[in-house]
């Protein structure tokens, strides 16, 4: 596979022409330092090294001697970044701004280079101060020359408004394929305004600064060669990316014997091709469809029971897939609870969560309860492309999708009646189309439940 020409392309061990984060970084920093733009956006597809970029950029900016702030959206993201920054920027103290009730996890407490403070005055001499957007929004009266804003597609425009006066210039990093931020109120009072507070921070930023440079990380180091083209085509139609590994470089192997059942066939198909659609008979079911939920749990358990090994560029000799390397994803919390109830003690280490909470995480094998499984009509929630994108892009090796038959018919019968608003850029990909594309791929990897 030959990818698009990318400036500063490096060459990976496998001989594929790919760009690493370090190849993209100089151009990003050059734009940021040029003085021509107050901001630079970096779009990062799943597993393309977004955190690495953030950490490297922070290290470079801090090395210039200017103080710097880093903004992310959740405490977990901040703790992860704090750890990585502390490990990467050896000569700086990382100040971690935290709310009153924040309890530092062990990975923060173990690092003396990370100092936790409730307010800025608690963090004197910290060259890099890091905190959630919500926390930064309570800080005022100071302007930093630089900021790095991470997971900026998860951030709402009104939150950016609250923190944007804290910095002169900023690097905005995020994954455009993820779930959009949402609001609990449903009004169209602001639709069409360039500063609509319900839009994502990036949408508002770019509508005011159409000339702002947008860089793209062009290689997914997470998604295998079997997944990157599928995910890119379905969810990133205008920002294609490719896998950092070639076909065959990532392999799954089941060491224990097959029972000969359909679930084993699905696990084997996924091991061989990276994908499996485990199809249950068509039926209009309740959301917590017991058959589908138990199938999700059983497939995950079969991966363990079959003594599955992963071979990859990290582990060419092969390592077992352990429970902590498996995730099961679903759309709703009640579905998560239902799936968990079928896992039993053997599966207690397996992650089960909603798409929202799986954002940014990575596993070897994932099992996905298809959001449209058992539905007769698709709601906007079920069709949201970001939801399916998150679920279909968490894996390094294989993804098994559990669904009742009938989804293609449901999609074809879906009425197209959404209102269209003036001056609101159309969002791509459209959920309906992304679902069609994903389904037509999955149908080639179908195993029918027996």
Which residues lie near other proteins (CB under 8 A)? 38-39, 137-138, 140, 157-158, 160-162, 164-165, 183-185, 187-198, 201, 204-205, 208-209, 283-290, 333-334, 337, 374-377, 379, 409, 412-423, 425-426, 428, 430, 432-433, 436
Distance CA 188, CA 203 (A): 17
Cα of 82 vs its chain's centroid, Å:
19
Residue position matching structure tokens 């659609």: 277
* Minimum distance from residue 7 beta carbon to other proteins (Å): 26
Compare residues 234 and 254 and give the one whose CB is closer to other proteins: 234
* Minimum distance from residue 398 beta carbon to other proteins (Å): 27
* Minimum distance from residue 428 beta carbon to other proteins (Å): 8
* Minimum distance from residue 190 beta carbon to other proteins (Å): 5
* Minimum distance from residue 43 beta carbon to other proteins (Å): 17
Q: What angle do CA 157, 433, 196 make, to 5 degrees?
A: 15
Question: Among candidates 258, 352, 244, which has minimal Cα distance to 307?
Answer: 258
* Minimum distance from residue 48 beta carbon to other proteins (Å): 24
Compare residues 165 and 258 and give the one whose CB is closer to other proteins: 165
Residue 350 gets which letter from DSSP? S
Give bridge partners of residue 214 from the DSSP assignment.
41
Compare residues 138 and 273 and give the one whose CB is closer to other proteins: 138
Distance CA 422, CA 14 (A): 48
Question: Among candidates 230, 299, 247, 294, which has minimal Cα distance to 270?
Answer: 299
Compare residues 26 and 192 and give the one whose CB is closer to other proteins: 192
Whether a cis peptide bond, with omega within 30° of 0, leads into 284 is no
* Minimum distance from residue 135 beta carbon to other proteins (Å): 12
Compare residues 14 and 405 and give the one whose CB is closer to other proteins: 405
Compare residues 84 and 283 and give the one whose CB is closer to other proteins: 283
Question: Among candidates 192, 239, 220, 204, which has minimal Cα distance to 39?
Answer: 204
Compare residues 267 and 293 and give the one whose CB is closer to other proteins: 293
Tokens of 330: 């679903």
Compare residues 65 and 415 and give the one whose CB is closer to other proteins: 415
150 close to 71: Cβ distance less than 8 angstroms: yes
* Minimum distance from residue 435 beta carbon to other proteins (Å): 12
Phi, psi of 222 (to 5 degrees): -85, -60
Distance CA 64, CA 156 (A): 30
Task: List the helix and strand counts (H, then E) for the chain.
Answer: 16, 21
Strands, E assignment, 346-436: 351-354, 363-369, 395-404
């Amino acid at each position: 596979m030959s990818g698009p020409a990318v400036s500063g392309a490096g060459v990976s061990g496998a001989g594929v022409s790919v760009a690493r984060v370090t190849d993209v970084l100089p151009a990003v920093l050059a734009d940021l330092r040029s003085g021509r733009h107050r901001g630079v956006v970096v779009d990062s597809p799943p597993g393309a090294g977004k955190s690495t970029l953030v950490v490297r950029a922070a290290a470079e900016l801090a090395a210039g001697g200017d103080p710097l702030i880093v903004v992310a959206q959740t405490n977990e993201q901040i703790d992860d970044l704090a750890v990585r920054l502390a490990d990467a920027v050896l000569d700086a103290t990382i100040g971690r701004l935290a709310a009153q009730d924040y309890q530092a996890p062990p990975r923060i407490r173990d690092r003396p280079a990370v100092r936790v403070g409730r307010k800025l005055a608690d963090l004197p001499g910290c060259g890099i101060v890091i905190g959630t957007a919500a926390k930064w929004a309570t800080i005022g009266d100071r302007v930093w020359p630089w900021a790095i804003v991470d997971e900026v597609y998860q951030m709402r425009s009104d939150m950016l408004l609250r923190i944007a006066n804290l910095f002169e210039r900023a690097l905005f990093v995020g994954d455009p394929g993820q779930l959009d931020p949402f609001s609990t109120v449903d009004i169209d009072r602001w639709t069409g305004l360039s500063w609509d507070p319900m839009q994502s921070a990036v949408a508002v930023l770019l509508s005011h600064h159409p000339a702002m440079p947008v860089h793209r990380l062009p290689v997914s180091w997470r998604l295998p060669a079997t997944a990157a083209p599928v995910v890119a085509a379905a969810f990133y139609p205008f920002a294609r990316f490719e896998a950092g590994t070639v076909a065959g470089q990532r392999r799954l192997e089941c060491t224990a014997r097959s029972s000969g059942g359909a679930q084993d066939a699905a696990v084997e198909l996924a091991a061989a091709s990276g994908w499996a659609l485990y199809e249950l008979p068509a039926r209009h079911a309740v959301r917590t469809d017991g058959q589908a939920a138990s199938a999700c749990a059983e497939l995950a358990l079969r991966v363990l029971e079959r003594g599955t090994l992963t071979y990859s560029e990290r582990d060419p000799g092969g390592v077992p897939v352990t429970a902590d390397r498996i995730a099961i994803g679903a759309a709703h919390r009640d579905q998560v609870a239902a799936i968990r109830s079928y896992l039993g003690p053997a599966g207690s280490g397996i992650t089960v969560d909603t798409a929202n909470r799986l954002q940014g995480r990575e596993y070897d094998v994932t099992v996905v309860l298809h959001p449209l499984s058992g539905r007769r009509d698709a709601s906007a929630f079920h069709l949201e492309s970001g939801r399916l994108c998150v679920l279909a892009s968490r894996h390094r090796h294989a993804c098994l999708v559990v669904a009742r038959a009938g989804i293609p018919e449901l999609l074809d019968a879906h009425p197209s009646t959404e209102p269209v608003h003036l001056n609101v850029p159309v969002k791509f990909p459209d959920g309906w189309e992304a679902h069609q594309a994903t389904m037509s791929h999955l149908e080639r990897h179908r195993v029918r439940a027996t």
